[in-house]
Amino acid sequence: MSATLCEQVIEITTNYLGPTAKRFVYRQVSVHLNKSPESLDSKDLPILADWSKLALGLITNDKNEVDRFEQDILSLSKAGGKSKKVSA
């Protein structure tokens, strides 16, 4: 069984936020996209990446890490929702 898009976003986010990733992603999707995490669609990724980048920027001063995170999320739409292994 392949991972849902939300699970793939959580997997990427875990590389940056560890065990808080699922809560972070769920909050970003529900608050900023006004939808359930399970209904996340590839069309939502640019908006999700923008909001998540902003939130992550409040947590860390490492601009390169924030930019990498944004690109990793956006890469899911380019890969057709297929996650690539990311090293943070």
Region class of 60: left (phi > 0), else alpha (psi between -120 and 50), else beta: beta
How high is the pLDDT of residue 83?
44
Q: What is the pLDDT of residues 54-85, one digit of tens each?
A: 999 999 999 999 999 999 999 998 765 554 44
- Encoded tokens for 73: 């999320």
Residue 23 clears pLDDT 80, i.e. is over it? yes
Q: What is the pTM of this model?
A: 0.84
In this structure, which long-range contacts are made by residues 24-33, counting pairs with CB atoms below 8 Å and at least 24 apart in sequence?
Answer: 24/52, 24/55, 25/52, 28/52, 28/55
How high is the pLDDT of residue 77?
86
Q: What is the pLDDT of residues 25-51, one digit of tens each?
A: 999 999 999 999 999 999 999 999 999
